[in-house]
């Protein structure tokens, strides 16, 4: 259980939503509209939660299990994002790197595209 219960339910909701999205995802690539929804519903909120925890009024350091769950949720969302372009991802992506990109770009779609290299530009 997280040392920061104020984030626990939000992480659980992001995990559940990522799984539901992955199970129901049947895009006709390229499906930029669906990719944008995935960024809005999942990638952005997942990275934003990490940013909030690390920069908010009470600095939160997640225990290993909670951090792993949050990072796994991000990766599940990124898998869904890439699938909208017909791409299967082979790696995992760091939530910290995603947060740094969000701070630099202020754009969750740019975070997803930069991390995954999708779509190919």
Q: What whole-number distance in Å separates Cα of residue 81 and Cα of residue 22?
A: 10
Q: What whole-number distance in Å separates Cα of residue 88 and Cα of residue 116?
A: 10
Q: How distant is the alpha carbon of residue 69 from its chain centre?
A: 11
Q: What whole-number distance in Å separates Cα of residue 65 and Cα of residue 63?
A: 6
Indicate if the pLDDT at residue 121 is higher than 70: no
Domain boundary assignment for the chain: 5-116
Residues 111-117, mean pLDDT to the nearest whole number: 98
Which pLDDT tens digit goes with each residue over 39-88?
Answer: 999 999 999 999 999 987 677 889 999 999 999 999 999 999 999 999 99
Which pLDDT tens digit goes with each residue over 11-30?
Answer: 999 999 999 999 999 989 99
CA nearest to 10, candidates 53, 39, 58? 53
pLDDT number for residue 55: 87
Q: How far is CA 67 from CA 33, 83, 102, in A?
A: 30, 24, 18
pLDDT number for residue 59: 74
């Amino acid at each position: 259980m997280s040392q920061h219960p104020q984030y626990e339910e939000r992480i659980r909701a992001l995990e559940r939503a990522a799984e539901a999205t992955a199970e129901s995802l049947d895009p006709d690539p390229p499906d930029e509209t669906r990719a944008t929804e995935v960024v809005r519903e999942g990638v952005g909120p997942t990275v934003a939660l990490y940013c909030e925890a690390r920069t908010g009024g009470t600095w939160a350091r997640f225990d290993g299990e909670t951090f792993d769950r949050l990072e796994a949720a991000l990766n599940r969302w990124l898998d869904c994002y890439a699938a909208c372009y017909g791409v299967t991802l082979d790696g995992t992506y760091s939530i910290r790197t995603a947060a740094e990109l969000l701070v630099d770009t202020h754009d969750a779609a740019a975070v997803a595209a930069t991390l995954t290299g999708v779509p190919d530009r």
